Structure formats: structure tokens, C-alpha cells
Copies of this chain bind each other. A is one copy, B any other.
Amino acid sequence: MLSTAGFAGIAALIGDPARATMLALLLDGRALTASELAAAAGITPQTASAHLARLTEAGLLAMERQGRHRYHRLASAAVAQMLESIMAVAAGQVAVAPVRPRTGPRDAAMRLLRSCYDHLAGQVAVALADRLAARGQIELSPDGGALTEAGRGFFAEMGLALPEARGGRLICRPCLDWSERRPHLAGRLGTALCGFCLEQGWMRRVGDSRAITVTPLGWQALHQRFALSPQDF
């Protein structure tokens, strides 16, 4: 077959626990240094260096040098989507397993709200998508989605600049959440909405994790715009 070799090679790269941890850490779209990634994966810098070189060589990561630091990030959205789809399958088989692994408070924050490459994921993100769908502002299915005229007006009134897609239609790609197992907003609309929430000060990244917190101003806005309150979660 044409691409079986490269196919298995890519998967094998992701298959190593240390590399998988680093890739998962980069899934929020930010760029991290080799040292940070090494510490996160629990390996020495020299080992991480070899891993990062292979990942970059394979086209999964992109690297840019800045002074004596070298920042590594995911090479493309296609890579992020691949990682997400693997996580979705992995989460599915966890659900089959009888043992539900103990989840600490850090995981709780991650499950509530987090960044997913360039958009929002977690309970809040799923709830947002649900509200929009219930109001007929978007239409979602496992296979695709669309923004309705009502939705277009809603976002315009909110002050969110909506990029146009070919054909005059805005696109929202559903992204299967590994914790919720429900689709949420990705695509151009998901990216725009995520950026808007951060710019407006509604949400803030937490430390060096993928977790995101909603600010008091954010809860006010979510309540007003989406009828969502903290006690809903």
C-alpha cells in the first residue's frame, strides 16, 4: 500500500508515553521549550531532545528558536485534530472499562473548561454549544454544523467579528469532547468565540495547564448572553 509505512510510523511516534504526554501538553496550541516539556514528561532534557527532533522531523511539531530557547508547538491544525480523534477513541474505551480512575481537583478544572488547540472544550463549552443549538442559532450533528441566520445576528449583536467562509456560510466544526463525549464548537466559529472570550476578559488561562477559568465578568456575560450560571455545573 502507498502510505502504510508512514501511517504506522506516525502512530508509533505518538505511541510512546513520553512523547504522548508532550503532544497532549501542546494541544492547547501554545509553544513550550524543550525543558518544560522534559519536566512534564518526567524525562531528562537529552531524552526529550531526541524525542522532539523525531517529532519535528516527522512533521508533527514545528520549532522556532528565540535566543537560547527553542519553542516547540504543534505543526498544524490537522495534527491537533488527529490527536483529538485519538483521545476520543481512548476516552471511549475508558468508559467501557469498569474502573473509573480517580480524578483529582486539577482534572475537575480541566473537565469544566479548557482550551483545545484553538477553541474551547469541557462542560462549559458543551453547554454553550447546547444553548446555541437549542435556540436555533447553530445546527450541530456528529458530522458537521452550520450557523443559522439567527445565530449570525446573535454574534453580530454581541460584537464578535465573524470570518466569512466560501459560499457565504460560516462553519462550525463539531469536536468530540474526550471528557463529555458530546460535540462542542470548533472550526472558525469555535476559534473566533474562544479568542473573543479571552479578549473580553471573560476567561483566563490557568498557569501552564490547558485549564481555563471563567472570571466574574465572564460569568456575568455567560448568564446574560447564554443563561449559564456557575451552579449549572
Contacts and interface: CB of A to CB of B under 8 A. Distances in A.
Contacts of A88: 78, 82
Interface residues of A, number: 68
A83 to B, nearest CB: 8
Contact of A3 (B8, B76, B94, B173): B94
A93 B11 CA distance: 13
B85 A6 contact: no
Given A3-B90, A3-B91, A101-B2, A143 B78 contact: no
Contact of A7 (B6, B90, B96, B144): B90
Interface in A132-189: 133, 136, 139-141, 143-146, 165-167, 169, 171-174, 176, 178-179, 186-188
B82 A171 contact: no
A43 interface: no
B85 A81 contact: yes
Contacts of A15: 8-9, 11-15
A144 B167 contact: no
Interface in A94-115: 94, 96, 101, 103, 107, 110-111
Contact of A86 (B10, B93, B173): B10
A21 to B, nearest CB: 5
Provide the main secondary structure of the chain A interface: helix
A87 B3 contact: yes
A20 interface: yes
A207 interface: no
Interface in A11-60: 11-17, 19-21, 24, 58-60
A144 B187 contact: yes
Can you list the 4 inter-chain pairs with the closest CB atoms, starting with the nearest? A12-B15, A8-B20, A143-B187, A11-B14
